Amino acid sequence: MNKFVYVLFFLGASCMHKNIPLTAPQPVKKAFTHSKHGDNRQDDYYWLRERENPDVIKYLQSENAYTESVMAPAKKIEEKIFGELKSRVKEDESSAPVKDGNYYYSARYELGQQYPLHVRRLGSATGPEEILLNIPALAQGHSFYQSTGPRMSMDQNKMAYSVDTVGRRFFTIYFKDLKTNTMLPDKIENVSGNMAWANDNETVFYSQQDPNTLRVHKIFRYSLKTHKAELIYEEKDETFSCYVYKSLSDKFIYIGSFSTLSSEIRYIDADRPLNAATLFQKREKEVKYMVTDHVDRFYITTNKDAKNFKLMTAELTNTAASAWKELVPHRKDTYLMDVTVFKNYLVLEERFNGITQLQIMDLQGKNPYLIPFADQSYLASVGDNREFDTDTLRYDYESMRLPSSVYDFNMKTHQQVLVKRDEVPNYDENLYRTERVFLTVRDGTKVPVSLIMKKDLKLDGSAPMLVYGYGSYGANMDPWFNSEIFSLVDRGFVYAKAHIRGGSEMGREWYDQGRTVNKKNTFYDFIDCTMELVNLKYADPQRIYAMGGSAGGLLMGAVMNMRPDLYKGMVAQVPFVDVITTMLDDSIPLTTSEYDEWGNPNEKTAYDYIKSYSPYDNVKDARYPNVLVTTGLHDSQVQYWEPAKWVPRLREHNKGDSVILLKTDLEAGHGGASGRFDQLKETATEYAFILMLDQPAAL
């Protein structure tokens, strides 16, 4: 019996629908019921999680074919957009060389290549070049190839690097002797890619994930002398994950255990890598702390009795929290994100009023200096710094209008030098303007929104607008530069990035107001910001589009159910849409570690709240907007079956003539394609979908 039946899918008679097939793929329904807390949920597409089932692959392929046929009228504009996107890429781009000892490290692309070369030069940034990793050559024969790049030993004579050729973020670590230019026989498979060298040039610490849940829960010590790995730490708490890192001073190796709301650190003398790890401070509920060091003390950022974090110090001989000393106190209006410790300076990465700032001070927390920035909306962050004993801070700066720039700032004289600014061909920053507005949402909260548009755009309510959002995990969607968006902006679009609650743009409280039992604030903020932008004449209410990925795809799904009439079209990238089912299944990757983000639905109160917004469970009879949904078969973060079953359910309940499409990358994972030009093709498809809806006459 044929596993697939095809149903009539009425698309309407508007010009954009001419020559579009009238049938959409329909996976067979297989009755399945989820039962919890006396509540039954019907899930007829649950079987689509059978990754090895040939019928699942056939269904995904049929959806791809359908999407291609529906978007056939937009093929020329898609190709044109891809050409535009590629034209704004400097094909032989290179990164700013970064000094580490006697070498200067960088990455560079060659014309036409999808992947970079990792290189170094001896003595100066213009010295003789040594190719460390030829990624274009290594990637040959692979449809997907991702590398962490080189990780150098202390003497810089050995190199480790890790590679994923599937897209599920399982890496293999390889080693090379750079003095003899030969690969070592050592190979460590199925690891996370996270690693750190000890100071003996022979020992590497690395982390490994569970093969099923993907939770990173083990730290190993590997010896290039004995060719053996030893488990030195295992995180038993299923709500925690772990990782390893090394301080800039090279004094200690750290093992960090973390959950959404708590953390715990252990440390090992990097000169004595065979020592057992020492516990820094026992974990406490809802207390996070992070540790780095100087020669004679530790520096700790923590939110213990400090919502927005404060900076503390501890002696090397006593790391108990009771012995910590306050260096930079908690500030209600400033969110302390991180600290970088140099030999003579501290650099604090902070947020004030939602905008990043860099503050420099001495080791005693005195003589603070805030690096001044002229723009009202921008992103400034500590860059690639590899030397501890230096007066130079490398930092990165960009805005929605200005491409990323790398500066070297002298922390002693306060003078700075522009090292490199990304070259963006066929782009003129003077043609655009940016704005930053605070919009009042339904509970009175003022939400910041960053916007970019053509400089001469009139705010008369006639422009199309794309609104982007995320709002989860405390992640910040800063106003960074994105050369791709100008293919829409040049066609008259306003691009709005809504800094909604659930991120940390306005501090830690901003995050807390958008998680667990406050999660709906994220969705309300996005809806209300969109409506207020329309009221302020930034856009035509009939020409509004929305985009979000992963947890931002959850945002798209929830908003779509709450206000199916508000947006003409949506792009939901790798969307997390079956929240209740996923969070009840602890065999699915990353579930247990996210109870503090979404709530634990094994508890009825959390179950009821999650179910009240979970996109898959709240699909209803409505006139849904046009939707393009993307996913990856090998996605390790959001399993492909969530969007795969969401799409047919949306179609079943859609009472309008909108198109609802699913496009699955059968080779890639959560991050999409690995090659830089292949990634642009994905963007071109998304933009062509939007333009097919907004400007059909241009097709």
Is residue 670 part of the annotated active site? The answer reads yes
Q: Which two tokens stand for residue 451?
A: 């916007």
DSSP symbol at 331: B
From residue 306, give the alpha-carbon distance in Å to each of 2, 293, 348, 468, 508: 61, 21, 16, 31, 10
Contact partners, residue 36, CB within 8 Å, separation at least 6: 584, 601, 602, 607
Q: What is the pLDDT of residue 637?
A: 62
Tell me the residue type at 562: M
Find tokens 């919890």 and name the residue: 36
On whether the CB atoms of residues 499 and 505 are closer than 8 A, the answer is yes
Q: What is the pLDDT of residue 21?
A: 53
List, for residues 131-159, the tens digit of each pLDDT value.
999 999 999 998 889 999 999 999 999 99
Q: What is the pLDDT of residue 674?
A: 53
List, for residues 205-233, the tens digit of each pLDDT value.
999 999 888 899 999 999 999 999 999 99
* % of the chain exceeding 70 in pLDDT: 95
Q: What is the pLDDT of residue 11?
A: 31
Mean pLDDT of the chain: 93
CATH number of this structure's domain 153-293: 2.130.10.120
pLDDT along the chain (699 residues), means of 10: 27 40 87 97 96 94 96 96 94 94 95 92 95 94 90 97 89 96 96 96 97 92 97 95 97 96 97 98 97 96 97 97 98 97 98 96 96 91 97 97 97 97 96 97 98 97 98 95 97 98 96 97 98 98 97 97 98 95 81 87 97 98 98 79 97 97 80 67 96 89
Is residue 550 part of the annotated active site? The answer reads yes
Contact partners, residue 693, CB within 8 Å, separation at least 6: 16, 545, 568, 569, 626
- To the question of domain 74-86+436-698 being in CATH 3.40.50.1820, the answer is yes
- Enumerate the H helices of 473-629 as residue ranges: 486-489, 508-512, 520-535, 551-562, 579-584, 595-598, 604-611
Query: What distance in Å separates the CA atoms of residue 406 and residue 419, rounded to the nearest whole number?
Result: 5
On whether the CB atoms of residues 449 and 439 are closer than 8 A, the answer is yes
Catalytic residue among 550, 593, 636, 674: 550
Query: What distance in Å separates the CA atoms of residue 218 and residue 236, rounded to the nearest whole number?
Result: 9
Catalytic residue among 450, 665, 670, 694: 670
Find tokens 């035509």 and name the residue: 540
Q: What is the pLDDT of residue 678?
A: 82
Is residue 106 part of the annotated active site? The answer reads no
The residue among 577, 568, 656, 564 whose CA lies nearest residue 613 is 577
Query: What distance in Å separates the CA atoms of residue 629 and residue 588, rounded to the nearest whole number?
Result: 21
Catalytic residue among 408, 635, 665, 694: 635
Query: What distance in Å separates the CA atoms of residue 538 and residue 375, rounded to the nearest whole number?
Result: 21
Q: What is the pLDDT of residue 589?
A: 61
Q: Chain centroid to CA 19: how far?
A: 38
Query: What distance in Å separates the CA atoms of residue 106 and residue 125, rounded to the nearest whole number?
Result: 9
Q: What is the pLDDT of residue 16?
A: 42
On whether the CB atoms of residues 642 and 635 are closer than 8 A, the answer is no
Contact partners, residue 111, CB within 8 Å, separation at least 6: 91, 92
DSSP symbol at 15: G
Q: What is the pLDDT of residue 374?
A: 81
- Enumerate the H helices of 459-507 as residue ranges: 486-489
Query: What distance in Å separates the CA atoms of residue 236 and residue 239, rounded to the nearest whole number?
Result: 9
> Domain ranges in the chain?
74-86+436-698, 99-141, 153-293, 304-423
Q: What is the pLDDT of residue 204?
A: 98
Q: What is the pLDDT of residue 166?
A: 83
